[in-house]
Structure 1
Amino acid sequence: MSTASEHAGQAALSICEALLLALNDHGLLPEQEIVGVLRDAAAAHENAVGTELEMERHRAVTKIINSIISAGNSVRRS
């Protein structure tokens, strides 16, 4: 992945996390729904198929999403 792609990925992740926080803060999506969205995203990558390199990338994405769920980064937990 090029540096430009890495920066684009980080920007996209930050934007998505901010959107999830805003949806939760404004009562549009409860925490459980947000975690469900993240779990669905992780499952899509867990179930993906492809070359070994593609699978390695999918595993890395799954790991990132699961760490977001664990840390609660996209939900303000009380």
Structure 2
Amino acid sequence: MPKQNEYQGMAALSICESMLLAINDQKLLSESAIIGILQDAASAHEHAASLDCDPSAHLAVAALINGIISGGNSVRRP
């Protein structure tokens, strides 16, 4: 059974993805700007992984974000 923080993480991811889609739909940011936001987030986790003695969580988050970028509008779960 997933832990409470896993539910919180899934909820946060769903909310953020929906917000980014709405921001794009309303033409507040371009698709390329939104992709840039996602790339920055993935890069931040990749960098944090290099500083952490247990990088697995950061690398998993970066992989998830990169999956969102490559998959378009859907969240891909491993």
Q: Same fold (TM over 0.5)?
A: yes
Task: Work out the CA distance in 2 between the residues paired with 1:73 and 1:60.
Answer: 19
Task: Work out the CA distance in 2 between the residues paired with 1:50 and 1:6.
Answer: 21
Number of residues of Structure 1 aligned to a counterpart in Structure 2: 71
Aligned to 1:25: 25
Q: Which has the higher contact order (CA 8 A, sep 6+)?
A: 1
Letter in 1 for 2:19: L
Aligned to 2:52: 50
- SS in structure 1 at match of 2:52: coil
**Over aligned residue pairs, what C-alpha RMSD do you find?**
1.2
Q: CA offset at residue 73 of structure 1?
A: 1.6
Q: TM-score, normalised by structure 2?
A: 0.87
Identity of counterpart residues, as a percentage? Answer: 54
